Amino acid sequence: MSADKDLSEMTEIEVASELRQLAIKISEHDRRYYQDDAPTVDDATYDSLRRRNKILEAAFPHLVRADSPNKRVGAAPAAEFGKVQHAVPMLSLGNAFNEEDVHDFFARIRRFLNLDEKEKVGVVAEPKIDGLSISLRYENARFVRGATRGDGQEGENVTENVRTITDIPDMLSGTVPEILEIRGEVYMSHADFATLNENREKSGEALFANPRNAAAGSLRQLDPSITAERPLRFFAYSWGEISESLAETHWDFLEQLKIWGFPVNPEAGQCMNAKDAVAAHARIGDNRARLGYDIDGVVYKVDRLDWQERLGFVSRAPR
Ligand code: IVH
């Protein structure tokens, strides 16, 4: 991007021309961000365009355009969602495993934990849902805040939109820690995605590229009533900040999630060894076409949470 021209050196014709270009550029970026959920510039670049537009408009108020990005409703900048700092960073996984890596994965865990021959390394295999991860905060069993992953440290506050997702409980059942942050994936089923796009086509709206984009675009609507009309679903699979420990194993944690009222992926399965894990991979692969939503692999989680901790699963990049 070329450096911004000094205002004092600009003619009105130049200012008007730059304002026109800014209006076009900003509305294109808004469309990519809000409707397609596929931004092509980073937040800083986008903000600098908006800032430049504001400066020019302030200096030349009579040149403010009817379609000024500052006046536009329905497509506001990202800053309109409040920011949420994640107390526990929301990590992402690097490469998914393929089948051949599974034996190596078990061997590395055994080595790292310095395990005896007799000791079994149980894992839980779960489909890796191709949606977007969110964090749900509950205080005294009541849902109080929902946040997107963002950059992992800071996400967007999407509480009001989350409240419209029927899969996500507002009040939890049973005994619940005072502070409980549950993480999981928001996604859209193939069937719901197809219907949404059909309706959009009929009304001449831009189509979503895939269910993931549709889910992300739907969750990040500034108007929660739009999110409410979108068929979003949720699976819970992890946690963030908690006021007390939740379970001794990941499997028990999943059971606990169900008691609290969260949907847990029924494909999740316990594996006692590498052979089981390979079989779980094959089973999930076989079921893939029948699931009705996109997955992009299988995630293996060491079942014992004290081992997860020693392996650095929770605090750092997971092993
Ligand atoms: S566990 C270290 N379990 O995959 C974070 N993640 O690249 C591990 N995902 O950002 C989270 N299904 O959005 C976990 N069953 C599952 C998942 C899952 C999908 C996503 C999640 C995360 C990304 C990891």
Question: How far is Cα 267 from Cα 273, in angstroms, rounded to an integer?
Answer: 18
pLDDT at 95: 56
pLDDT at 97: 62
| Substitution site in 88, 123, 129, 187 for ligand 1 pocket (most atoms within 8 Å of beta carbon) | 129
List active site positions.
128
pLDDT at 317: 38
The residues of the chain scoring below 50 in pLDDT are 1, 73-78, 314-319
pLDDT at 39: 81
Alpha helices in 60-150 (DSSP H): 101-113
Tokens linked to 22: 């800014």
pLDDT at 29: 87
For ligand 1, what atom is nearest to the CA of residue 268? 15
In angstroms, what is the span from residue 187 Cα to ligand 1's centroid? 12
pLDDT at 316: 39
pLDDT at 74: 39
Question: How far is Cα 188 from Cα 202, in angstroms, rounded to an integer?
Answer: 20
pLDDT in tens, 290-307: 999 999 888 999 999 999
Nearest residue (CA) to ligand 1, atom 18: 128
| Substitution site in 188, 238, 250 for ligand 1 pocket (most atoms within 8 Å of beta carbon) | 238
pLDDT at 222: 86
Ligand 1 pocket: which residues have CB below 6 Å? 91-93, 126, 128-129, 133, 185, 237-238, 299, 318
Q: How many CB atoms lie within 10 A of CB 247?
A: 14
In angstroms, what is the span from residue 317 Cα to ligand 1's centroid? 12
pLDDT at 81: 87
